[in-house]
Chain A
């Protein structure tokens, strides 16, 4: 019986192989002239599975041979940064709620431009967009830039990632979003109780707001700290430590008016000085904070970091205890959402000096100004957040306790959820069936990341735009998302993901798709042209 099954599988495989070979043959005309390409990938099973899917599509649709070059995660990152690759699947998640967090990646010689893309026209559009205080104008400029980016096929979009999760039906009001803190329990409540448990996955490696870079720490900081503003349910800026703010007409001068009843958890008032101190600290080259660049919108921030300006030149000034004046280097209409980001959280100088090096090393080596305070930080096992009674908006906060467990394994987390140990848990593609069987409703949210082929434009073959187009157009994204990712990710036919805001709604929806999914006809044409241009005939 078993043997019979095996035999049939074997037969099937042979037939499939033969048909693949056959289709390959029919297009052999041009593709065989293309040397074998290489796609760089991690050696994790999922990463390899993705690469194999692309490999198969290129082979089947275009007859292009692509080898899978798998290596360790770190090596992949390093080789990508060093330009030692041809094609690699890469992703980018937003730092703040504006398409610019995606679009300024590809400016010539930009720090994140790993493919080596260089187009003065593109650079100019981005520069103009950055210099414009007018939101509609900025969006138009970025839309034009994105068109050029895809027209040049600097990168080949694949998909926008969406994730699945399930929750205790009694839990209401949690907000999922593309940035930290995600999930955000600010508005959350739970029927017949006031405490919830969720999985933070791992130990937060660094709870110091000015130096940390990871989502776990940012998640906890988002609940225990508050910046000048915080993000509301829609991802827009709402009053935080600042009760209101004004922007000058040129968009460069921002004045934040702090509320006078804001307190640290040790009872001291939160003042504008705490922000000035924290921001300048984040930019201090001695601190060597990785996210210092997030503050580069501020006048002279980059110069100070690079030693070309003094700390006093940095455009942040506490005029008095409740007024913070910020001068920007470029108008950034989204600056009010940017200051909600973890790196911009305040720090009281006096307190900081009193704990020194130990700052943020334990729950009681920090003071908090957010809706919750961290009362327990049991390293490598859990954190406990308790409602901060002195928080200015405490009346609106319904949860008394949030417990964060550190369960790394996705199956264990799901099992913990199933026994009632967690009130919300992420679901992986391969867990969906089981979750449905257990009778839970699958919920989805965009994690804000955009995934694409990063092409090395300095590579002999991939320098050719038509080859890149052929590779991009020939991918069947719909099938990839359904069969390989098996989640609710969306087909990516542009670079900026749908969660990013545009003029009034979503940037992606306003701009529309920039090319067609699975466009074999065009792909083949491009391939032929590319081969001709490369002189491979």
Chain B
């Protein structure tokens, strides 16, 4: 187990290093500078600003400087938010995105799995169709449309929930729903397929032949096995949902980290782009790692220990 984790850790570091390098190069190929705006900047002022931010140096020199700082854990200052360090932006903003993401994910997971199971258990019957219609809507309608519609009808017309902001539990309801719906749909469909597959397995017949009531067969023997393939996509899903918060954050004016993903690129905020890319990659890598371990726990056939000869 220890050796396995160690190996995975080294792998991850290497992956992050490659991502950092590629991002650094691509980012510098992007047109514009952090302070390119509608108004052109007089030549000598522009040069002076570039010098201040070290942008007058050739790219390889900047790369070395960046990497050195990175090794010390210093992500630098944002080039657009003049008084904020990249580290502090991530530290302040990520918990909110994470909270939004986790709420959306828990909702998507619970409701998605439930719908999938209901659909599979009632295969070919009304509930199957109902849940699959919900799933299709969830997959095909993007979150900004769902978000916008809910905001207008539930927020403005019915006044049930606040329209924007992130202060109380009430503020979190529509955004979490809007963000989670797509994932819910994916979950429901996957769970349904997986569950149908499992319910056709021989061991379900074995369980039935023991005289177990249907509930026990479905729960004890069906769900646990059906959930396995769903667990494998949990990593990308968690990462996707936490990185995919920017649309919802934008609509509901939620002060999360997601919005910076888009704005940093639009504004050529180099240090922030790097910081966010590395941070989100780290999340992705960690998530996949956690899911691997989780998978090992759920599925006894998978063992993380390397076999001793």
Name A's B-contacting residues (CB within 8 A): 71-75, 77-81, 91-92, 111-112, 114, 203, 205-208, 211-213, 285-286, 288-290, 292-293, 305-306, 358-361, 378-381, 405-409, 411-413, 415-416, 418-419, 421
Contact = CB atoms under 8 A, between A and B. Distances in A.
Contacts of A378: 255
B43 interface: yes
Given A111-B40, A293-B45, A380 B82 contact: no
A300 B23 CA distance: 43
A415 B255 contact: no
Q: Kindly list the 4 A-B residue pairs having the minimum CB-CB distance in the complex, ordered from nearest.
A: A74-B32, A361-B83, A111-B42, A380-B255
B132 interface: no
A415 B30 contact: no
A412 B40 contact: no
A74 B30 contact: yes
Nearest to B257: A380
B268 interface: yes
Contacts of B81: 203, 205-206
A77 B36 contact: yes
A164 to B, nearest CB: 19
Contacts of A361: 83-84
B253 A405 contact: yes
Given A111-B40, A407-B253, A419-B156, A380 B93 contact: yes
A288 B52 contact: yes
B41 interface: yes
Interface stretch (B163-171, B231-239, B301-309): B163-171
B82 A288 contact: no
Contacts of A413: 164
Contacts of A408: 250, 253, 259
Contacts of A360: 83
Interface range for B: 35 or more
B164 A421 contact: yes
Given A74-B30, A407-B164, A408-B250, A419 B155 contact: yes
B37 interface: yes
A126 B274 CA distance: 45
Contacts of A206: 81-83
B163 A358 contact: no
B48 A111 contact: no
B31 A412 contact: no
Contact of B36 (A78, A205, A418): A78
Contacts of B42: 111-112, 293
26 contacts: A73-B266, A77-B36, A77-B37, A78-B31, A81-B36, A81-B40, A92-B39, A207-B83, A213-B39, A289-B45, A290-B35, A305-B45, A358-B83, A359-B83, A380-B92, A407-B164, A408-B253, A411-B151, A412-B151, A412-B252, A412-B253, A415-B164, A416-B163, A416-B253, A419-B162, A421-B162
Contacts of A91: 38
Nearest to A359: B83
Given A74-B32, A381-B253, A421-B164, 17 more contacts: A73-B266, A74-B266, A78-B32, A79-B31, A91-B38, A285-B48, A286-B52, A288-B48, A290-B45, A361-B84, A407-B253, A409-B250, A411-B251, A412-B253, A416-B253, A419-B155, A421-B163
A77 to B, nearest CB: 5
B70 interface: no
A361 B151 CA distance: 33
B155 A415 contact: yes
Contacts of B244: none
A112 B48 contact: no
A213 B250 CA distance: 23
A416 B253 CA distance: 10
A163 to B, nearest CB: 16
Interface in B220-273: 250-253, 255, 259, 266, 268
Given A75-B32, A78-B32, A409 B44 contact: no
Nearest to A307: B44
Given A112-B40, A203-B81, A290 B49 contact: yes
B87 interface: no
A319 B153 CA distance: 63
B166 A381 contact: yes
B251 to A, nearest CB: 5
B19 interface: no
Interface string B39-65: 111111100110110000000000000
Contact of B156 (A78, A111, A286, A418): A418
Contacts of B164: 405, 407, 412-413, 415-416, 421
B14 to A, nearest CB: 31
Given A415-B155, A419-B156, A379 B40 contact: no
Given A305-B44, A408-B250, A412-B151, A112 B39 contact: yes
A112 B44 CA distance: 13
A188 B159 CA distance: 29
With most chain A CB atoms within 10 A of its CB, the pick from B40, B152, B251 is B40
A111 B81 CA distance: 25
B187 to A, nearest CB: 27
A377 to B, nearest CB: 11
Contacts of A213: 35, 37, 39
B296 interface: no
A453 to B, nearest CB: 16
Nearest to A406: B253
A75 B250 contact: no
A44 to B, nearest CB: 11
B80 A205 contact: yes
A532 B228 CA distance: 76
Contacts of B151: 411-412, 415
B148 interface: yes
Contacts of B52: 286, 288
Contacts of B38: 77, 91
Contacts of B35: 213, 290
A6 B91 CA distance: 53
Contact of B255 (A73, A207, A381): A381
A53 B52 CA distance: 42
Contacts of A205: 80-82
